[in-house]
Structure formats: C-alpha cells, structure tokens
Amino acid sequence: GAVVSQHPSRVICKSGTSVKIECRSLDFQATTMFWYRQFPKQSLMLMATSNEGSKATYEQGVEKDKFLINHASLTLSTLTVTSAHPEDSSFYICSARGTAGLAGQETQYFGPGTRLLVL
Amino acid sequence: AQSVAQPEDQVNVAEGNPLTVKCTYSVSGNPYLFWYVQYPNRGLQFLLKYITGDNLVKGSYGFEAEFNKSQTSFHLKKPSALVSDSALYFCAVRLYNTDKLIFGTGTRLQVFP
C-alpha cells in the first residue's frame, strides 16, 4: 500500500519549452500532495503544497508562475515547469500524505522522482 | 528556528556490524520524526516514524530508531548491517501544526563486505 508514481522518470527538453510532471497516488486518495526539488548531493527543498480542488501554496522564493501546480483529483497532481531554462535542471520529487488507516496521516509517501535536464 | 541536523555526511560500517545514523532536531511542540532512505536516482522510501508512545520504534528492513527527548535525538539503528543497506538516509521532522516536513542534509551509509 501507499504507492506513489511519477511520470516521466526522466525528461530532456530544450530551453524555453514547458514540461509537465505527473504525480499519482496509486492505491489511496491523497487530498494533499507536495512537490520537492533536490539538487545533487543535497537535501530536499519543499517547493509547494498541493491541495485537491484548491490553489497550491508555494514556499518563499518559488515562482508560482513558473512552476504551475494542479491537483484536480484525489489521485493526481501535476507540476508544469514553464519556459524551462538550464537552471531548472534538477530532480523533482512528489509526495502524497497518507490517509488514516494507511500508516497514518502524518506520513508522506514519495514518488520515484523525475530527472529534468534542460538544454 | 526549527531544524534537523545529521552531523555525519557519511557512515562506513562492515557488513554484519551494528550501524547508527545520527539525527538531532529542534522543533516547537511535540515532534513528529521520520526516517527515509533514498537509493540512487530514486525517490524516498519511508522507513519508520515516531509520533508518540514507545521511544524505540521499529521499522522496515530491520531498522529501528530511538527517540530521546532529553537529547532531542532520533538516531537510526540496525543490529547487523547488510551491503544492500548502502544508500542515502534522511531524517525529517514535521513542522508544528503543519503538514510540512523539513529534512536533514542526509547521511550516506556505506556498508562494506
């Protein structure tokens, strides 16, 4: 139980294009999902909190117009990197908050990550 | 300020020996503490958590962690290390009254055969 998937696992794009990353909770409903960014050999940085049916809450310093988040259903959140540039190259990881009865609401379950390379 | 510290960048241990990965925290309120493991180019896998109750928490793959309130620590332990335990380990704490997790900087565990 508590499986989270991400698609794609790896994407290479040209500078100026947009890239969409999907995060799905496969066997539970997630009212809250989170998007993180991880730089090489560094820890995870929370970018935004995504709540189903409402606007995402972005962390300080994260451009909401550049990193568009949509959480249209209880099992799917998407992150779109708009007009990507080389400095956006990173490892993006999503997580979904567990539900009562599935190891508890306190626990976040993470997807396998998406490696983005912008040329 | 609320924070999590993992003082060791890397821990080396021989297979079969016990291992400890250290974590200390500073938070408001009662801490919710977590350990995650990350294998190369993968997301984080949940190992265990402390919310309340027994200070010794048992988790996946034979790992356990001990919550010590007086020392504000939550060290990860395993009695007998395996080569396959080699990975990056993250300690995390949930910020008081929020859903947000803050992570330590990670500790790379290397288990030698």
A3 pLDDT higher than 60: yes
- Alpha-carbon span B99 to A53, nearest angstrom: 17
A37 pLDDT higher than 70: yes
For residues B19-37, average pLDDT? 92
A28 pLDDT higher than 90: no
Return the pLDDT at B63.
Answer: 97
For residues A101-111, average pLDDT? 74
For residues B1-25, average pLDDT? 95
Helix (H, G, I), strand (E, B) or coil at A47: strand
Return the pLDDT at A42.
Answer: 80
Contacts with B101 from chain A: Cβ below 8 Å = 34, 46, 108
- Alpha-carbon span A73 to A46, nearest angstrom: 21
From the list B34, B100, B104, which residue is nearest A46 (CB)? B100
A102 pLDDT higher than 60: no
Contacts with A115 from chain B: Cβ below 8 Å = 41
Q: What is the pLDDT of residues A41-88, one digit of tens each?
A: 788 899 999 988 888 999 999 999 999 999 888 899 999 999 999 999
A26 pLDDT higher than 70: yes
Return the pLDDT at A22.
Answer: 97
| C-alpha torsion sign, points B65, B73, B109, A97 | positive
Residues 6+ apart with CB under 8 A from B104: A43, B4, B5, B6, B23, B90, B91, B92
Return the pLDDT at A1.
Answer: 67
The chain-wide mean pLDDT, for chain B, equals: 93
Return the pLDDT at A104.
Answer: 61
User: Position of tokens 């909190």?
Assistant: A49
Residues 6+ apart with CB under 8 A from B53: none
A103 pLDDT higher than 70: no
- Alpha-carbon span B91 to B110, nearest angstrom: 17
The token pair at A118 is 């912008």
In the A/B pair of chains, how many CB contacts fall below 8 A? Answer: 55
- What residues form DSSP beta bridges with A80? A20, A68
Q: What is the pLDDT of residues B54-102, one digit of tens each?
A: 999 999 999 999 999 999 999 999 999 999 999 999 999 988 778 889 9
DSSP chain B: --EEE---SEEEEETTS-EEE--EEE-SSS-EEEEEEE-TT--EEEEEEESSS-SEEE-GGG-EEEEETTTTEEEEEESS--GGG-EEEEEEEEPTTSS-EEE---EEEEEE-
For residues A15-26, average pLDDT? 96
The token pair at A104 is 């508890």
Is B45 within 8 Å of chain A by CB?
yes
A98 pLDDT higher than 90: no
The token pair at B35 is 């350990």
- Alpha-carbon span B3 to B24, nearest angstrom: 9
